[in-house]
């Protein structure tokens, strides 16, 4: 979706279109019926799609990622700025999140080639260990140290405050697969940084889910002295993970057979999976993200149809990702963000420092290439759905401080969601990996990225030969 090579005339047209769309909407909002009328949802969806694409193209001029444009469209049209999309419409549009997360997880699994994993396994393993220990420890300590500035934490006993800080530490090492895939889908990047980021961000989901379960087991007795450490949570967790992998493998095999023998109407099949199958997975108390990640991994590595499925997801994603991120932008609670911006910004800064520090340690330990050593942290800053989902678990488990804790998470995720993709795209541009997939595939637009091809082919199109970044 990169707008590279567009002339100034096209940019002027885009700018004018943006003005026209906003003008039409402003007039309609003044003279029409209320936005809660039946057309409100339709209008909101149409507006977010059109505005998201237009803003992403306009921001592309200054090198910002498309994802930032989608988020900006949501913020701009949302209930806190122009009021073109109200809270009710935002809630209704959030139903598309299930579909988006399904596509993201499937695409994530499809991106995990065994060859790629083998290539980066040393860096991946060591980065996972360091981020999960150093990153978690630093973030936990910083949160605990900020106790005087957090009223809900200050009221707690020291050990209880430490328990809460432990939850924060786990959340701090969660990443955003959707943001990573969104940027890679736009830039069609390929190279060492791309492969490391994909492998790390996708696999870190599983690690974070496991760590959160462990933190719950350890943190609960610290916060509630009457509670005891119970291994029941681990049993439930192992059931969830084992079940998710089994169901995901089965789904992956079925998908591979479907692609082999039928293969048509993939878009409908994907929507069916996103709405129908993900409901069934949740009904079985399994982890949808892990299930679809496994399914994608199986299709990619046990069948020759991975690229085809990925291509279909990218086509569907053109719409779904815009709605997903624009809705996320509209969901941003700006008043809350403004009310706690100092604390939130400090936490974001310390999290970034912890991430970069952990990356430097793991990178030196793994003897990574200079490029990876310098820019490997850039994809680890974004946070989105998974972090928010885990914060809801904490909120439900601890109603006494949960809502305040979650508000803080929402505020920091809001900042990371906006800044993270900018850093990642900048890094891809600087390392020359942007557009490498397109250059290698020999066309712009609709072909899979070079990273999807076998390594023998990839070696013919090194990332350094890619065209200069458009920004």
In the complex, the residues that contact another protein under the rule CB under 8 A are 1, 10, 13-14, 16-17, 20-21, 24-25, 28, 30-33, 35, 37-54, 92, 263-266, 268-269, 271-272, 275-276, 279, 308, 312, 314-315, 318-319, 322, 444-446
Cβ distance to another protein smaller for residue 286 or 390: 286
What minimum distance in Å lies between the beta carbon of 87 and another protein?
Answer: 16
For residue 80, count other CB atoms closer than 10 A to its CB.
Answer: 16
DSSP 134: I
Residue 83 falls in which region: left (phi positive, over 0), alpha (psi -120 to 50) or beta: left
What minimum distance in Å lies between the beta carbon of 119 and another protein?
Answer: 28
Tokens at residue 12, please?
A: 């002027």
Cα angle 127, 131, 134 (rounded to 5 degrees) comes to 125
Torsion 156-153-396-291 (CA) sign: negative
What percent of the chain is helix, strand and coil (3-state, nearest 5)?
80, 0, 20
Only one residue has tokens 């994809």, namely 379
What minimum distance in Å lies between the beta carbon of 451 and another protein?
Answer: 18
Residue 332 contacts residue 414 (beta carbons within 8 Å): yes
Exposure of 383 in the CB half-sphere (CA atoms within 13 A): 24
Cβ distance to another protein smaller for residue 219 or 437: 437
Cβ distance to another protein smaller for residue 315 or 395: 315
Cβ distance to another protein smaller for residue 226 or 264: 264
Tokens at residue 185, please?
A: 């889908």
Cβ distance to another protein smaller for residue 272 or 392: 272
What minimum distance in Å lies between the beta carbon of 92 and another protein?
Answer: 8
Exposure of 25 in the CB half-sphere (CA atoms within 13 A): 25
Length in residues, the chain: 471
Phi–psi pair at 165, nearest 5 degrees: -65, -30
Cβ distance to another protein smaller for residue 226 or 443: 443
Report helix angle 39-60 to 8-31, nearest 10: 150
Phi–psi pair at 214, nearest 5 degrees: -65, -40
Exposure of 113 in the CB half-sphere (CA atoms within 13 A): 17
What minimum distance in Å lies between the beta carbon of 107 and another protein?
Answer: 14
For residue 350, count other CB atoms closer than 10 A to its CB.
Answer: 18
What minimum distance in Å lies between the beta carbon of 395 and another protein?
Answer: 25
3-state SS class at 384: coil
Cβ distance to another protein smaller for residue 114 or 257: 257
Residue 435 contacts residue 368 (beta carbons within 8 Å): no
Cβ distance to another protein smaller for residue 30 or 342: 30
Cβ distance to another protein smaller for residue 55 or 138: 55
Q: Is 5 exposed, middle or buried (0-12, 13-18, 19+ CB in 10 A)?
A: exposed
What minimum distance in Å lies between the beta carbon of 176 and another protein?
Answer: 21
Closest CA to 49 of 364, 414, 330: 330
Tokens at residue 99, please?
A: 């579909």
Residue 267 contacts residue 220 (beta carbons within 8 Å): no
3-state SS class at 399: coil
Cβ distance to another protein smaller for residue 120 or 270: 270
Residue 170 contacts residue 208 (beta carbons within 8 Å): yes
What minimum distance in Å lies between the beta carbon of 35 and another protein?
Answer: 8
What minimum distance in Å lies between the beta carbon of 453 and another protein?
Answer: 20
What minimum distance in Å lies between the beta carbon of 97 and another protein?
Answer: 15
Cβ distance to another protein smaller for residue 88 or 369: 88
What minimum distance in Å lies between the beta carbon of 195 and another protein?
Answer: 23
What minimum distance in Å lies between the beta carbon of 419 and another protein?
Answer: 24
Residue 131 contacts residue 380 (beta carbons within 8 Å): yes
Cβ distance to another protein smaller for residue 51 or 427: 51
């Amino acid at each position: 979706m990169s707008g590279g090579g567009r002339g100034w005339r096209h940019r002027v047209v885009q700018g004018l279109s943006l003005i026209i769309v906003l003008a039409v909407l402003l007039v309609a909002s003044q003279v029409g019926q209320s936005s809660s009328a039946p057309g409100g949802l339709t209008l909101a969806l149409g507006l977010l799609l059109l505005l998201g694409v237009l803003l992403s193209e306009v921001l592309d001029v200054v090198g910002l990622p498309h994802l930032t444009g989608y988020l900006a469209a949501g913020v701009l049209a949302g209930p806190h700025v122009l009021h073109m999309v109200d809270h009710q419409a935002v809630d209704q549009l959030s139903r598309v999140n299930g579909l988006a997360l399904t596509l993201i997880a499937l695409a994530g699994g499809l991106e995990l080639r065994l060859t790629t994993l083998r290539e980066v396994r040393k860096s991946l393993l060591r980065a996972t260990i360091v981020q999960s220990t150093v990153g978690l420890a630093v973030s936990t300590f910083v949160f605990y140290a900020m106790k005087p500035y957090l009223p809900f934490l200050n009221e707690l006993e020291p050990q209880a405050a430490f328990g809460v800080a432990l939850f924060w530490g786990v959340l701090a090492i969660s990443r955003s697969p959707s943001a990573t895939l969104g940027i890679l889908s736009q830039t069609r990047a390929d190279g060492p940084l791309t492969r490391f980021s994909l492998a790390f961000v996708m696999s870190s989901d599983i690690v974070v889910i496991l760590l959160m379960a462990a933190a719950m087991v350890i943190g609960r007795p610290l916060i509630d002295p009457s509670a005891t450490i119970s291994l029941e949570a681990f049993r439930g967790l192992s059931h969830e993970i084992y079940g998710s992998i089994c169901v995901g493998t089965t789904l992956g095999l079925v998908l591979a057979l479907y692609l082999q023998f039928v293969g048509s109407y993939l878009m409908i099949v994907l929507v069916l999976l996103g709405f129908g199958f993900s409901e069934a997975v949740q009904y079985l108390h399994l982890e949808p993200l892990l299930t679809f990640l496994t399914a994608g991994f199986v299709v990619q590595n046990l069948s020759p149809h991975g690229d085809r499925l990925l291509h279909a997801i990218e086509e569907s994603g053109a719409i779904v990702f815009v709605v997903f991120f624009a809705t996320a932008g509209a969901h941003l609670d700006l008043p809350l963000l403004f009310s706690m911006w100092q604390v939130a910004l400090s936490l974001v800064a310390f999290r970034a420092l912890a991430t970069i520090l952990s990356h430097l340690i793991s990178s030196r330990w793994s003897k990574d290439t200079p490029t990876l050593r310098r820019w490997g942290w850039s994809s680890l800053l974004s946070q989105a759905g998974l972090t928010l989902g885990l914060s809801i678990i904490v909120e439900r488990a601890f109603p006494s401080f949960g809502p305040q804790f979650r508000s803080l998470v929402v505020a920091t995720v809001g900042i990371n969601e906006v800044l993270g993709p900018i850093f990642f795209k900048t890094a891809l541009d600087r390392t020359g990996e942007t557009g490498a997939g397109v250059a290698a595939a020999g066309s712009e637009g609709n072909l899979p990225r070079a990273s999807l091809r076998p390594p023998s082919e990839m070696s013919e199109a090194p990332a350094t030969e890619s065209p200069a970044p458009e920004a």
